[in-house]
Amino acid sequence: ARLPAVAAVVTVAAVGSAAWVWSPRPQTDERVRIAVVQPGVVAGPASADRRFDREERLTRELAGRDVDLIVWGESSVGFDLGARPDLARRLAALSRETGAELLVNVDARRSDRPGIFKSSVLVGPEGLTGDRYDKMRLVPFGEYIPARSLLGWATSVGKAAGEDRMRGTRQVVMDAGGGLRIGPMVCFETAFPDMSRALAEGGADVLLAQSSTSTFQQSWAPAQHASIAALRAAETGRPMVHATLTGVSAVYGPDGGRTGPWLGRDTSAAHVYDVPLAHGTTPYVRFGDWVPQAALLAVAAWCAAEVLRVRRRSRSPRAPHARTAHGSPTRPGR
């Protein structure tokens, strides 16, 4: 009875794999030059100021290198740019000097709204462009504490969030100049394929992830996190840039293959990547998660069929026992 269900699941998986292998893929047609600025480990007093200074110095090294976009990592700016116009002016000066817009990530209390936000902010030669994405999916305990009234004690035993960060309400596709449209995500949002799919549907040419895995610096987490970007790129047919503060930073092409080197853990550098662009739609962007959904439906159908089969068997009349010549029912072993 289980064979039909197993066969159905295997069939769905086989059809999904065939659709992936033989379906038309987005065609690569041009390239853009995107720079990743990774400051490396900056610890101690006034670390936010010293990190900004290092990122600024590394970004200046990109002048004259014909860069289309510069990406800083998560929490690369520790001050609200509305409240710190001096920093906004320094970023605008970097944009003019390098000839490229900068995508930075602000982790600070907002001056125009209550609460702390993690936001991807685009800065051009004239200053803030107005393009901003506020992180929507926060890390439990790291950025907010679920049911804080019950679990607030977690702040006393680790690095749990002392104050919940605020959530964004929508994803944003930004125009980074020269017709380049980018779709930012922050940190572990790359683990959610629906977010990259929505950005691809929204017209993003390049997917971007701004991340910081410094808490897990000496573990497997930075490399594992960077590798997720390869999967998101292959699913959507869009290149993906994964930029971190302390490594691992990486870039992947529309087919999920690595483009250029990884920037390893503890590396402090600014690296320029030639990123291939692609146009077209993958089956995943067009149809979504139909393969696992179809597999779940097949399992649910099998479960329903099994329930009906058991009920019919329990309701069917039982055959009478065979009787002996004296009219007594036979018993096993006699």
What confidence tens digit (pLDDT) does each residue in 62-102 have? 999 999 999 999 999 999 999 999 999 999 999 999 999 99
| Residue 251 counted as domain residue | yes
Number of domains in the chain: 2
Is the pLDDT at 232 greater than 60? The verdict is yes
Same structural domain for residues 82 and 13?
A: no
What is the domain-level CATH number for residue 249? 3.60.110.10
Mean pLDDT of the chain: 87
| Residue 320 counted as domain residue | no
The pLDDT value given to residue 169: 95
> What is the C-alpha separation between 28 and 42, in angstroms, rounded?
38
Same structural domain for residues 265 and 294?
A: no
Is the pLDDT at 10 greater than 90? The verdict is no
| Residue 266 counted as domain residue | yes
Is the pLDDT at 1 greater than 70? The verdict is no
Report the percent of the chain where pLDDT is more than 70: 87
The pLDDT value given to residue 148: 78
Same structural domain for residues 103 and 236?
A: yes
CB 145 within 8 A of CB 160: yes
DSSP classification of residue 26: P
Q: Which domain holds residue 5?
A: 1-23+290-313
The torsion angles phi and psi of 267, rounded to 5 degrees, stand at: -80, 140
The torsion angles phi and psi of 318, rounded to 5 degrees, stand at: -85, 145
| Residue 188 counted as domain residue | yes
pTM, two decimal places: 0.82
Task: Go through the chain and tell me how many residues it has.
Answer: 334
98: part of which helix (H) or strand (E)?
A: helix 85-98
